[in-house]
Structure 1
Amino acid sequence: MVDFPQSTRRNAIDTIAPESALRVRWRRSTELTAKILSNPATVLGFAIIVAMFFMAIFAPWITTANTPDPYQMPRDWGATRMPPGTPGYPLGTTNEGGDVYYGIVWGTRMSLQLSITVVGITLVVGSIIGSLAGFIGGKLDEVLMRIVDVFLSIPELIFALAIAAILGPSFGNIMFALAVVFWVKYARIMRARVIQIKNSDYIDAARIIGDSKLNIYFRDILPNSFTPVMVQATLDMGNVVLIAATLSFIGLGEAGIAEWGVLVSEGQAGIASGRWWASTFPGLMIFLWALAFNLVGDGLRDALDPRTESSR
């Protein structure tokens, strides 16, 4: 057996390891994608999300009305309560002459903006707080988790309703209220995941060989902690819109904006007299949005959680 010098062996490892690691990552990514796409429900959810993303992106080109504020639904007081199929109003109009089709299309963009903003902010804030609490521990962990417990003791809808009611009817206030409410679940999930990883064998090995705490935190713990919070974020993309629509429906949204909850609220008075379309179409969009992200979230959870496979 030929004994190569230490420098030669190290150069060979440095040359081969990145290629091997890249192949491993590519194989795992391919297997994960195939596993996700093998679930018909997940594929259906992805298809609905893609369709709604295209609707949100191309909203200016698939609607005809031009308004100074595209999120402000145009009114035609000479065409109130028009049924679906009316020329110029394919999905009918509301009691106030609002174009239901226009509201649905631009409402898709508002829902996308709402979901990305609220989930993005809460994911970042909650992950930072939860990971620091789990990694540092001690008094910091105790204080932060007691704050989280206080927030979690109040139902999400009631808490968001109280904040939005205090701030006043506004779409921006609804976004703020939801951001205040949703961050705590990410903090709790991230803390539990970080504690689990922090007590694993490979973290102990990293400490033994002399890795610094910052290096362990950023290189070994954080990259391996985001799976559960990403699944929760996918589910919350639907939950956020559902709760926002609820708040708008009860009068905490901005009147006249192209938002699904506002449309449902405006159209509810006409249901009893047979004018079902003003509430039904935006209500269907809310249902499809929440359903799609829940299907995708469940599919990601099943694909990423090894316990799911072992239980089958």
Structure 2
Amino acid sequence: MADITTSSPSAARPATRETAFRVRMRRLNGVLLRLLSDPSAALGLAIIAALLGMAIFAPLIAPPNIPDPYQMPRDWSAVRMPPGTPGFPLGTTNEGGDVFYGVVWGSRTSLQLSLMVVGITVVIGTIVGSLAGLLGGWVDEVLMRVVDVFLSIPELIFALAIAAVLGPSFTNIIIALSMVLWVKYARIMRAQVIQIKQNDYVDAARVIGDSKLNIYLRDILPNSITPVSVQATLDMGNVVLIGATLSFIGLSQAGIAEWGVLVSEGQAGIASGRWWASTFPGLMIFLWALAFNLVGDGLRDALDPRTEGR
């Protein structure tokens, strides 16, 4: 009698997971190659690399102010100095602030703002959207009505109102933006979960006895994250734009090395020809938003299966 052996689901699972990991790594490599082959996305990646380098090496590029490196140093004997002045390569503001110092350390401030806000909003939005999509029924109705209320208010106005109530502070700007931007991720994640949980491989996982948590973590979540990743990349630039707007109108911490604060300090001198205090930080805001938008658009095209092979 022939020896017939059957493989159990538990024995096959490690091989299946290893295969899935290899497939994901190949897809990631393919996405990176397609990003680099896209001229606009490659330009965005180059700008982001330069800005990240400035943020990481800020203490070497501009020696930190003691005791708080995020507070711009003031020199009241060097007010309104033009670019090229010894010791002040990008000039000074009306209050004696070093524009070069503010530009360099402002890159680190913007990086912190973007990472914290996007990280918080992605986590909250993913949890809310997943619960709504998985549970459905009254849970879905309640959560989506809350999302609709948030979406009905323009982002900038809502963030402005929250930041004004909380008071001028860099931390309060992070809180305000996080309270405003999570809803788009909840909406995206809900739609993805509802679509993916109807696929045959999810039904097959249920049939072999996988728990709901395992199905979500292994099958639904990894296949739902693509549009969330694209939106997060776009929001890395959008967050700095909104944050700079709030700082410009005085809702950030006073004297902090932040691009919006620098633009605000330098606006009074534009009419009299002292353009540098607003121009250089404004250019950094533009480059930051442009770079992440270019990469976000390229990432969306690279992850779109309809463009694969083109």
TM-score, structure 1 as length reference: 0.93
Whichever residue aligns with residue 48 of structure 1, its letter is: I
Structure 1 residues 100 and 11, CA gap change in structure 2 (3 angstroms): closer
> Residue 68 of structure 2 aligns with which residue?
69
> Residue 102 of structure 1 aligns with which residue?
101
Distance 1:22 1:256 in 2: 48
- Gaps (5+ residues) in structure 2? none
Deviation at 1:309, TM superposition (A): 4.8
Distance 1:111 1:213 in 2: 39
Whichever residue aligns with residue 270 of structure 1, its letter is: G
Aligned ranges for residues 165-244 of structure 1 at < 5 Å? Answer: 165-244=164-243
Does the Cα contact within 8 Å between 1:94 and 1:266 map onto a contact in 2? yes
> Residue 84 of structure 2 aligns with which residue?
85
Identity %: 75
Deviation at 1:9, TM superposition (A): 10
Distance 2:67 2:272 in 1: 33
Does the Cα contact within 8 Å between 2:31 and 2:299 map onto a contact in 1? no
Whichever residue aligns with residue 284 of structure 1, its letter is: L
Deviation at 1:163, TM superposition (A): 0.5
Does the Cα contact within 8 Å between 1:163 and 1:177 map onto a contact in 2? yes
> Residue 126 of structure 2 aligns with which residue?
127
> Residue 267 of structure 1 aligns with which residue?
266
Structure 1 residues 246 and 4, CA gap change in structure 2 (3 angstroms): farther
Aligned length: 310
- Gaps (5+ residues) in structure 1? none
Deviation at 1:204, TM superposition (A): 2.0
Question: Is residue 276 from structure 1 mapped to residue 275 from structure 2 by the alignment?
Answer: yes
Deviation readout 1:175-200 (Å, 9 max, x if unpaired): 11001001111111000000000111
Distance 1:14 1:95 in 2: 66
Deviation readout 1:9-54 (Å, 9 max, x if unpaired): 9999789766655554443333222112110111111111111111
Structure 1 residues 181 and 17, CA gap change in structure 2 (3 angstroms): closer
Is the partner of 1:225 in helix, strand or coil? helix
Whichever residue aligns with residue 117 of structure 2, its letter is: V
Structure 1 residues 238 and 22, CA gap change in structure 2 (3 angstroms): closer
Distance 2:4 2:275 in 1: 81
> Residue 291 of structure 1 aligns with which residue?
290
Structure 1 residues 23 and 127, CA gap change in structure 2 (3 angstroms): closer
Whichever residue aligns with residue 206 of structure 1, its letter is: A
Question: Is residue 48 from structure 1 mapped to residue 47 from structure 2 by the alignment?
Answer: yes
